[in-house]
Chains A and B, each alone.
Chain A
């Protein structure tokens, strides 16, 4: 069972996700994630506990079977959504390092590429990209009906709008990587310098978050995927994304129907 605890170091509180484990007669504790100097909200704590706790054994294995069945239904729903939007689906990613891709011609998605056995969250994430680009293609209609949200499709990709939520979504998704980034950054702040290897790690992690994970295009797909798996958490950490995405989708009846069918699937 994972839980959040804090340590006080030189008068400052630092938060960790930890779990207890048995070693002979003794119960010990190991750190799973460093969470930084700010206390996470209750909702985030619950999500982390859920994410990092091992499933309870029932003796019958029925919980695992239920999770597998729900996962399979969600995957079937996502494949149906790809088909509905007229996308070719190829399991042609064989080189290491890439989980999924969406291909566009004239700004319209026409194919999704996946690894041979993709996990459900990757498939939903790629569907998020597809919906983002289809909405962009229809944006002139959306803009005409609701000017409040026109800003999300600004051509200025360096825009800071929604940046904060994109970052929060990335930090939730890549919690262990962000934990490591925080740990090294704070060490640098404390000691004033880092060993060369740590300096390189810090630079790589920062680049991953800044150039990729925290961008708005990823923010959209991350918010969409998180909403389908945990709507309450999505609304807590990315309320504006959720409002924008689902208001835009509600203006597109065909898209709303596809998303509704996924929302009514059990959480993956």
Chain B
């Protein structure tokens, strides 16, 4: 994670990093899997700042998002 990423988290928001492991079958549709992950995080209220392989880094509003339900 870079300093730039850290600084991109707006004040009042919580930073979150999620390391996600696709199932082996996703070898057949890795592109779609990555897009699905982004969509799933967005739907849960997480803004993704960067993706580095299996590491998704972003932030969420703690007043509206329960981190205990992530990822879903």
Interface centre among B1, B21, B72 (most CB of A within 10 A): B21
List A174-201 residues whose CB lies under 8 Å from chain B: 174, 177, 201
**Within the assembled complex, what's the spacing in Å between the Cα atoms of A129 and B53?**
14
Taking CB atoms, residues of chain B closer than 8 Å to A208 are 26-27, 30
Interface of B is mostly: mixed
Instruction: Say how far B23's CB is from chain A's closest CB, in angstroms.
Output: 5
Could you tell me if A211 and B21 are in contact, using CB atoms closer than 8 angstroms? no
Instruction: Say how far A50's CB is from chain B's closest CB, in angstroms.
Output: 18
Could you tell me if B19 and A101 are in contact, using CB atoms closer than 8 angstroms? yes
A151 within 8 A of B: no
CB closest residue in chain B, given A94: B72
Taking CB atoms, residues of chain A closer than 8 Å to B1 are 107, 155
Instruction: Say how far B9's CB is from chain A's closest CB, in angstroms.
Output: 11
From A96, A97, A215, contact of B53 by CB (8 A): A215
B8 within 8 A of A: no
A38 within 8 A of B: no
Q: How large is the interface on B (under 10, 10 to 19, 20 to 34, 35 or more residues)?
A: 35 or more
**Within the assembled complex, what's the spacing in Å between the Cα atoms of A113 and B15?**
18
Could you tell me if A97 and B27 are in contact, using CB atoms closer than 8 angstroms? no
**Within the assembled complex, what's the spacing in Å between the Cα atoms of A92 and B72?**
6
Number of A-B residue pairs at CB separation under 8 A: 102
Could you tell me if A103 and B22 are in contact, using CB atoms closer than 8 angstroms? no
From A155, A211, A215, contact of B30 by CB (8 A): A211
Instruction: Say how far A39's CB is from chain B's closest CB, in angstroms.
Output: 25
Q: How large is the interface on A (under 10, 10 to 19, 20 to 34, 35 or more residues)?
A: 35 or more
Could you tell me if B72 and A218 are in contact, using CB atoms closer than 8 angstroms? no
Could you tell me if B16 and A212 are in contact, using CB atoms closer than 8 angstroms? no
**Within the assembled complex, what's the spacing in Å between the Cα atoms of A147 and B54?**
27
Taking CB atoms, residues of chain B closer than 8 Å to A102 are 18-19
CB closest residue in chain B, given A110: B67
A161 within 8 A of B: no
List B44-62 residues whose CB lies under 8 Å from chain A: 52-55
From A98, A129, A157, contact of B23 by CB (8 A): A98
From B18, B36, B69, contact of A101 by CB (8 A): B18
**Within the assembled complex, what's the spacing in Å between the Cα atoms of A211 and B31?**
10
Interface residues of B (CB under 8 A from A): 1-2, 14-31, 33-34, 36-37, 40, 52-55, 67-72
27 residue pairs of the A-B complex, CB under 8 angstroms, read A97-B26, A98-B22, A98-B37, A98-B71, A99-B22, A99-B23, A100-B20, A101-B21, A103-B19, A103-B70, A103-B71, A104-B18, A105-B14, A105-B67, A111-B67, A113-B70, A122-B21, A157-B52, A177-B24, A177-B27, A204-B27, A204-B31, A208-B26, A208-B27, A211-B34, A217-B19, A218-B54
